[in-house]
Amino acid sequence: MPSAATDQFGVADELIRTERLLGAHNYKPIDVVLSRGEGVYLWDVDGNRYLDCLSAYSAVNQGHCHPKILETMIEQAGKLTLTSRAFRNDQLAPFYEEIAELTGSHKVLPMNSGAEAVESAIKAVRKWGYEVKGVPEDKAEIIVCSNNFHGRTLGVVGFSTDPVARGGFGPFAPGFKVAEFGNIDAFKSTITENTVAFLVEPIQGEAGVIIPPDGYMKEVREVCTARNITLILDEIQTGLGRTGRLLAEEHEGIVADVTLVGKALSGGFYPVSAVLSNSDVLGVLQPGQHGSTFGGNPLACAIARTAMRVLVEEGMIENSAEQGAYLKDGLENIRANAVREVRGRGLMIAVELDPSAGGARRYCEALKQKGILCKDTHEHSIRIAPPLVIDHDQTDWCLEQFDSVLTALD
């Protein structure tokens, strides 16, 4: 159990001081300095153990330092790490085969970070708009949602509706229109003959685990098909088992034209993302028109192959559904005045607190003292997303800590 007392001249304080001094202050982390991870657990430099309820924003769905992914990484790193795409490597084709088979996709574009996958999809879908749909040059429009989160590049923050994410970074690229998330009429009335794509998260993660109304995504799918609009689902956070299904689109009974995956695609070992395409969107890219030095490198491909394999072989997706339902149910049964709503799917859960509760940050600080690492989102929500390998007893233990903190801070 971590102690409440902080050692004034401890290792952690020294490291935090150096970070403050030398680093850009673009994050405000919880002051815990971690040095080891295994499964659902993390240890700080003072040896305190924590249960990770963030999973690096769902990048470590497979648990920290998964032994099989680690083995693959070490083995591949000793053989070949990077060739660039000027040459071929022996891991790329099997990676394509396995991700295509797993997700039912026809074409794959490997990249590194999630934001790069988003940017790549935007490039491809615009080109598709001009070459296939017949949109006049430079007139392509992409519809995005209010409160979206798709990454931090200039292209992406340019269509964010969050003043903190975009403020001071303009001018931004044109060609994006915002429609209210979850509102089918808003989406329909934003469409023009130049709309090439609708880019949306099936569940908005950074916005605070916002699930759209029943039937919304299905209607979106129908409208996109009818109007020849490419439906791009950003499953970088919701994908790969997080919501209790391989892809969150399965809850809606729909199939996207383009699916973006990242984060857990490497189990947290390495930045690996991909654009998956079911239509001819990726087919428009010709040699020289897009690329990435590291995209599709053999180390990334080998790691991703094992990360996908263990997700399926070790039953993590089913476990996410099972433990997620149990955790959500348990959270709903906590009798604390501060809890306004518990929402989520699988192990992607948020507890929304009443605005009078004084903000989620102090709850996260209190949970840290109890040995749970959580992240506050949008001031009043606590996001809970443990690795998908969490077992029943660990879930129970989490519930006890949540109960104790939520009732104690009431």
**Looking at the annotation, which residues are catalytic?**
149, 234, 263
Do residues 202 and 254 make contact, with C-beta atoms less than 8 angstroms apart?
no
Contact call for residue 115 and ligand PLP (CB under 6 A): yes
Q: Is 181 in the site for ligand PLP (CB under 6 A)?
A: no
Tokens representing residue 251 in the block = 């809850």
Residue 348 CA to residue 331 CA, distance in Å, equals: 13
Neighbours of 7 (CB within 10 A): 10
Distance of closest approach, residue 234 Cβ to ligand PLP, in angstroms: 5
Residue 110 preceded by cis peptide, ω within 30? no
Least Å distance between CB 359 and ligand PLP?
22
Q: Are 241 and 311 in contact (CB under 8 A)?
A: yes
Beta bridge mates, 145: 179
Q: Is 114 in the site for ligand PLP (CB under 6 A)?
A: yes
With beta carbons less than 8 A apart as the criterion, state whether 113 and 151 touch: yes
Q: How many residues bind ligand PLP (CB under 6 A)?
A: 15
**Taking CB under 6 A as the criterion, which residues in 246-265 touch ligand PLP?**
262-263
User: Using the rule CB under 6 A, is 151 a contact of ligand PLP?
Assistant: yes
Which residue of this chain has its Cβ atom nearest to ligand PLP in the complex? Answer: 114
Site string for ligand PLP, 199-218 (x = CB under 6 A): --x---x-------------
Using the rule CB under 6 A, is 119 a contact of ligand PLP?
Answer: no
57 binds ligand PLP (CB under 6 A): yes
Q: Which of 52, 98, 234, 249 is close enough to bind ligand PLP by CB under 6 A? A: 234
Residues 182-201, mask of contacts with ligand PLP (x by CB under 6 A): -------------------x
The span from the CA of 334 to the CA of 339, in Å, is 8
Task: Name the token pair of 75.
Answer: 């083995």
Binding status of residue 387 toward ligand PLP by CB under 6 A? no
Report how far residue 194's alpha carbon sits from residue 78's, in angstroms, rounded to the nearest whole number.
49
Closest separation between CB of residue 343 and ligand PLP, Å?
Answer: 17
Q: What are 142's two structure tokens?
A: 């992409």
CA atoms of 56 and 389, how far apart (whole Å):
14
Give the footprint of ligand PLP on this chain (CB under 6 A): 57, 113-115, 118, 149-151, 201, 205, 234, 236-237, 262-263
